[in-house]
Amino acid sequence: MDRRYFLHFSVLTAGYLFTGCEERGTTDKKKPQKSPEAGSTLEKISIQEEKVFEKVIPFTQKLKIPDEINFSKVDKALFSAQKSKVNLFSDAKTDVLTFQGDLPNPTIRISKGGTFNLDFTNNLTDPTIIHWHGLIVPEEMDGHPKDAISTNQSKHYHYKVEQNAGTYWYHTHPHGRTGEEIYHGLSGLYIIEDKEEDYLNLPKDEFEVPLVIQDRRFDKKRQLLYKNPAFLPDNNGVIGDVILVNATPIPFHEVKTGKYRLRILNGSSVRTYKLAFDTIEQFLLIGTDAGLLEEPVSVESVVLSVAERVDIIVDFKDKQVGDKVILKTLGFKDGNNFGLNPDYPGFDAVMDIMQFHITENFKDTSVLPKKLVSIPRMKESEAVKTRRITMEVISGGIWTLDKKPYDMHRIDQRVKLGSTEIWELKNSIHMAHPFHIHGVRFQVLDRDGKMAFPTDKGWKDTVIVMPNEMVRIIVHFTMPGFFVYHCHILEHEDHSMMANFLVE
């Protein structure tokens, strides 16, 4: 890291860290949280203040496709959070965290109505827990931070999947260390299928490609660099200069001259992407976080904030063998006016993500349906209550919801089971925030800002709230229990930008 920035921020940061610890201590007296920077699981993983000296040459490594755990073929899966050494780069082993010893972690595939059955063991030195992001499951299965299990303990996950087809994901969720653990590898995709989707004849098998996009930093020994706790901009969110797709640095993928379904997750810490292709002007958006849209939407680009997913169809029919197409982010300066680490590309940077190599002619005679699924629209008149959730930074530089630092055991909202509510998400900060609610799916009613997002048309579990904007969502609560809602910028939720609600 550039020393001039460290010296500039050292005095400010000392006050910031002291104030943050002081306020958290007064709100969470039952189980005070240990600082994630002191004695954590990853303390022994190399964290050096050196960037990669050798430039990462893009499009030289082949995209890794995750193995699958398909619950139509297996009765039970085994996960173990563990330290591993893997080849992210072909020329070096990198210290990471995995669930089965390698990266990318497996993609879970299960059908609606199927039973999910997994034994999870924590082999890390700190407590952790897995959250099944976007799934509506009983409280004890959801992965609330209060349920984190200690070293060498195990947890049995067992639940029936009752949701429609969609691209979901999973990741660890311990309070104060979620960002660090996901950054070092602990996340993966979770795909639900159903009969309604099967009838649509969408691209599948080799023509269905999962893409988990994450920007990262590396030192000269190809080891991951996470945030420096003494450097204030890193506490605003960790950005990197090397984009991994399925744990592969700026890869390439070989395709034929046909339609491909890309299931894309933004698994980064803070970066919002504006996805587009360099030589394909338009593609089809067919799905969002929690399932398919009612009909395909033709777009030139799509904005994807942290934890959001999109399902797109891209057609290579007009390309020739030997052509190459780049998936990139066009930059999204609108998403951030806050100070992030200046040593790495900002939100406004245009960055290559991966390249598609056209290697074979293919006569694709498939026709995409004009109608996908029906989405029953919730009506404002059905809502029995309206709540406003504010996103603010309070004294000491603490990221909060409703000006309250997170308390793992405090009930911030009480909700009646079976009720429908409108939540007004008000962002008073000059930085976009992806807002996520556990245990529900919701629909976006409207925004008071100037930007329109085609992803607002579908079922959501995470929504981007732009600077100084209010987004109204409508939610129907079907699962009783104690759940969290939070900003999904990982460093913000780890800090204090999270709250609890009880459905009873």
DSSP 12: H
pLDDT at residue 45 is higher than 80: no
Residue 497's pLDDT is what?
95
pLDDT, tens only, 186-219: 999 999 999 999 999 999 999 999 999 999 999 9
Q: What percent helix, strand, coil does the chain show, rounded to 5?
A: 15, 40, 45
Coil, strand or helix at 416: coil
Q: SS3 for 422-469, per residue?
A: EEEEEECCCECEEEEECCCCEEEEEECCCCCCHHHHCCECEEEECCCC
pLDDT at residue 38 is higher than 80: no
Residue 52's pLDDT is what?
54
Instruction: Classify domain 205-360 at the CATH topology level.
Output: Immunoglobulin-like (2.60.40)
Q: For the chain, where do the domains classified as CATH 2.60.40.420 start and end?
A: 64-198, 205-360, 380-503
pLDDT at residue 242 is higher than 90: yes
pLDDT at residue 37 is higher than 60: no
Higher pLDDT, 393 or 504: 504
Question: CB of 194 within 8 A of CB of 178?
Answer: no
* Closest residue by Cα to residue 215 from 235, 241, 233: 241
All residues at 6 or more sequence positions from 12 whose CB lies less than 8 Å from its CB, including other chains: 232
The fourth-level CATH superfamily of domain 64-198 is Cupredoxins -  blue copper proteins (2.60.40.420)
Token digits of residue 288: 């969002």
Coil, strand or helix at 18: helix
Residue 51's pLDDT is what?
55
pLDDT at residue 456 is higher than 70: yes
Averaged pLDDT, 56-81: 96
Averaged pLDDT, 433-453: 94
Counting residues of the chain whose pLDDT is more than 90, the rounded percentage is 81
Question: CB of 439 within 8 A of CB of 491?
Answer: no
Question: CB of 46 within 8 A of CB of 221?
Answer: yes
Question: Residue 477 class from Cβ within 10 Å (0-12 exposed, 13-18 middle, 19+ buried)?
Answer: buried
pLDDT at residue 244 is higher than 80: yes
* Closest residue by Cα to residue 180 from 21, 41, 342: 41
pLDDT at residue 86 is higher than 90: yes
Question: CB of 292 within 8 A of CB of 372?
Answer: yes
Strand spans (E) along 335-448: 351-360, 385-394, 398-401, 413-415, 420-427, 433-437, 442-447
pLDDT at residue 32 is higher than 70: no
pLDDT, tens only, 115-140: 999 999 999 999 999 999 999 999 99
Which of 92-106, 190-204, 333-347 has the least mean pLDDT?
A: 333-347
Tell me how many degrees the CA angle 33-50-342 measures, rounded to the nearest 5.
75
* Closest residue by Cα to residue 438 from 384, 399, 391, 493: 493
- What's the first-to-final CA gap in the chain, in angstroms? 49
Averaged pLDDT, 26-33: 35
pLDDT at residue 42 is higher than 60: no
Residue 54's pLDDT is what?
65
Q: What is the CATH number of domain 380-503?
A: 2.60.40.420
ω into residue 296 within 30 of 0, thus cis?
no
* Closest residue by Cα to residue 125 from 188, 76, 180, 183: 180
Averaged pLDDT, 390-408: 92
* Closest residue by Cα to residue 98 from 67, 57, 71, 143: 67
Residue 264's pLDDT is what?
98
Counting residues of the chain whose pLDDT is more than 70, the rounded percentage is 89
* pTM for the whole structure: 0.89
pLDDT, tens only, 482-501: 999 999 999 999 989 999 99
pLDDT at residue 458 is higher than 70: yes
d(CA 359, CA 258): 11
pLDDT, tens only, 474-483: 999 999 999 9
pLDDT band at residue 337 using 50, 70 and 90 as cut-offs: confident
Partner residues linked to 356 by β-bridges: 253, 325
Give the Cβ contact number of residue 149 at 10 Å: 18
Beta strands 470-476 and 442-447, pairing class: antiparallel
